């Protein structure tokens, strides 16, 4: 499957991967700060944005392979939430990735007896059930949940909705497949195999992937480091855009810090 990708800028390659139910248009506010320092490739995940819908139902393996085919080899992969999980899976699959930036990312999205810093299994199951009834409302509800806890939640939610308005709605099959990945994927036992330098960026007030999950993720990675953004919820790049861009560009190989 060939995914839609757009590239801008010059310098070290940076690939941006969005989260569940969204598309690459969410990165628009960051591009003016990023493109002077790196070449940015924004990719729509299967069944999202402008990517094809003929095979919108995807697995981790299929999505990772499709993203890797669209990404410049040797790039830094920045993934948000589900996109971050796919970035880790791609690194574990041996794709040509120089380093990782994992934003509001967790190795396990739902709770377990030994993993309390996550969404309750019943909450995610309720979203999956609601998806069958009204996928548009389910996406809207999920967006609102992502911004819960942010100091300016209403403003951020309006901005996120505005950014999403410029593209087609995601395919319901892709939405269902994405929820299945979030419900079942557990990367914890393989984190020690990730050899790429990794920057983990967490929101201090994130209710979906708590900052504690980011701390555990960074600690478990052989070359992980953690940045917690004060006052931010699940979208720290919207809450603290300047600090976010500065942190990412400073982490890139050979890039001049913003």
In this predicted model, what pLDDT tens digit does every residue of 101-140 receive, in sequence order? 999 999 999 999 999 999 999 988 988 888 888 888 888 8
Question: What's the rounded mean pLDDT across residues 61-73?
Answer: 96
- Is residue 53 predicted with pLDDT exceeding 80? no
Q: How many CB atoms lie within 10 A of CB 219?
A: 12
Report the pLDDT value the prediction gives residue 255, as an integer from 0 to 100: 53
pLDDT band at 57 (very low <50, low <70, confident <90, very high): low
Q: Where are the beta strands (DSSP E) in 10-125?
A: 13-17, 39-43, 75-80, 97-103
Residues with a known catalytic role? 81, 206, 234
Q: Binning pLDDT at 50, 70 and 90, where does residue 24 land?
A: very high
Indicate the range of 68-72, 158-162, 212-216, 242-246 predicted with least confidence.
158-162
SS3 state of residue 145: helix
pLDDT tens, 223-245? 999 999 999 999 999 989 999 99
> Rounded mean pLDDT of 75-88?
98
Question: CA nearest 101: which of 229, 190, 231, 205?
Answer: 229
Q: pTM (2 decimals)?
A: 0.93
Query: Is the pLDDT at 56 greater than 70, yes or no?
Result: no
Fold classification of 5-251 is Rossmann fold (3.40.50)
Query: Residue 258's pLDDT band (boundaries 50, 70, 90)?
Result: very low
Number of Cβ atoms within 10 Å of the Cβ of 84:
28
In this structure, the number of other CB atoms found within 10 A of the CB of residue 243 comes to 17
CA 131 from centroid of its chain's CA atoms: 20
């Amino acid at each position: 499957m060939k995914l839609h990708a757009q590239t801008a800028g010059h310098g070290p390659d940076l690939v941006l991967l969005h989260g569940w139910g969204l598309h690459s248009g969410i990165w628009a506010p960051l591009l003016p700060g990023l493109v002077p320092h790196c070449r940015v490739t924004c990719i729509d995940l299967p069944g999202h944005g402008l990517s094809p819908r003929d095979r919108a139902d995807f697995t981790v393996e299929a999505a990772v392979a499709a993203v890797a085919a669209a990404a410049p080899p040797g790039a830094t992969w920045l993934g948000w939430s589900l996109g971050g999980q796919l970035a880790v899976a791609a690194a574990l699959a041996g794709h040509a990735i120089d380093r990782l930036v994992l934003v509001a990312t967790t190795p396990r999205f739902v709770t377990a007896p030994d993993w309390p810093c996550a969404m309750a299994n019943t909450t995610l199951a309720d979203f999956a059930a609601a998806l069958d009834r009204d996928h548009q409302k389910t996406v809207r509800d999920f967006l609102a949940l992502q911004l819960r806890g942010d100091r300016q939640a209403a403003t951020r939610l309006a901005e996120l909705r505005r950014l999403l308005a410029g593209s087609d709605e995601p395919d319901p099959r892709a939405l269902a497949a994405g929820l299945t990945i979030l419900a079942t994927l557990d990367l914890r036992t393989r984190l020690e195999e990730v050899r790429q330098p990794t920057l983990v960026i967490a929101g201090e007030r994130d209710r979906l992937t708590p900052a504690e999950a980011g701390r555990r993720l960074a600690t478990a990675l052989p070359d992980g480091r953690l940045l917690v953004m004060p006052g931010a919820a699940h979208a720290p790049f919207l809450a603290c855009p300047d600090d976010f861009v500065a942190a990412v560009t400073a982490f890139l190989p050979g890039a001049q810090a913003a």
